[in-house]
Amino acid sequence: MLKRIAPDQLRLGMYVQEIPGPWMNHPFWRGSFKLEKYEDLKTLRSAKIDEILIDTTKGRDIIVEDAPMPAVDTVETSTAATPSPAPEAVKPRQAKISVQVGAEQERVQAARVLTGSKKAIMTMFNETRMGKALDVRQAMPVVQEITASVSRNRGALISLARLKTSDDYTYMHSVAVCALMIALGHQLGLSPEETRQAGLAGLLHDIGKMAVPADILNKPGKLTDDEFTSIKKHAQAGHAILRGVDGIGDAALDVSLHHHEKIDGSGYPFNLKGSQISLMAKMGAVCDVYDAITSNRPYKPGWEPGHSIKRMANNQGHFEESVLEAFIKSVGIFPTGSCVLMHSGKVGIVIDQHPGSLLTPKVKVFFSATTMSMLPIEIIDLATTRSGDKIASYADPSKMPNLPNLETIWASSGLN
């Protein structure tokens, strides 16, 4: 039976059938789910929504009497490291990472890390193309540097890594996926060693592309069927390369081979389904796709980050839902670098996130969608501001001809 209830009537064990309004107006990318976590209960009770539709045939009813629950505000969730969940029961745990410095402060250091990481990856990949054995000891310092940056601020390095050129795409994509895997590993509550291995897997997931002819790999136009078949062979080629490397872990082997598998079995190379795919490979699939679709490519411009998150959430059958949900929490519903439209009609770009608050990032406002003209640059912290303004939706830069270069606005450190 479906019932509409007020948010303060929610209780653990209820099945949320629908949260009215646009999905970006609440912190849950899914509309239907079983309410099982105190964190989610607290978030829903405090969200700016009037009512929620529950299904009492799938969960608890408001009239059922239960033992008193602990107060939501005082419940503590352990952040101790625990073993990775089984592939068939992926349950994201509370993140063990928090923003320690602002994105502006971290950006300079993140840029240095990216420069050094790119050089190291280019060397490793090009040596592999020439038939030399990969030395995993060259990769681990890169993973450690990226881990340190992501630990200081999740969004700075990840958003900078989106700014690729066609010449360095393969290398910078590997760095970006490494950073995304580390952030996602933290969000899933993986142990430090598991997270390190996830980062290494992300860094080396595309090593097999070194076995693909360069003219196909760097082709600016649409691939032919034969060329696409050649590209698809990179998964097995990468696994073969890594299998012969001393000190390589199971995670890197698994992700290199299976990061293009899909939950519904439509992926490659083996058409694996659901629980046949490991947690690490499911993580790799999400991180690989997100960076690919948000990056400019020779044959198409990248999608805006927030729009990309929405498209991924609507792509049924591709990703493990719980892993995608954790990924969204790790980068934000409006990731750093997203172009957003405010209720006031102002246009801004997200420059930083608040841990635990998916809908209230820090936004640099600079343009009016009403007059299609520039505004004095203003930074609005939606978590603390009293202006009453909030994000209404993603903004489509292609529909605003007078919009300045977003990368310049996002990267500028001043307010003018």
* Rounded average pLDDT over 252-277: 96
Higher-confidence position of 310 and 180: 180
pLDDT in the model for residue 415: 40
Residue 116 to residue 139: CA distance in whole angstroms: 12
Residue 154 to residue 110: CA distance in whole angstroms: 10
**pTM of this structure:** 0.75
Strand-pairing partners, residue 342, are: 391
Which tens digits make up the pLDDT trace of 220-229? 888 899 999 9
Grade residue 95 by pLDDT with cuts at 50, 70 and 90: very low
In the chain, where are the structural domains located?
2-66, 103-331, 339-411
CATH code of the domain occupying 103-331? 1.10.3210.10
Which tens digits make up the pLDDT trace of 402-415? 787 777 776 664 44
Contacts (Cβ under 8 Å, ≥6 apart) of 124: 134, 135, 138, 139
pLDDT in the model for residue 300: 77
CA 82-83-86 angle, 5° bins: 130
Half-sphere exposure of 221 (CA within 13 A, CB side): 2
pLDDT in the model for residue 21: 58
Which two tokens mark 150? 């992501």
* Environment class of 393 (CB within 10 Å of its CB; exposed 0-12, middle 13-18, buried 19+): middle
* Rounded average pLDDT over 374-380: 92
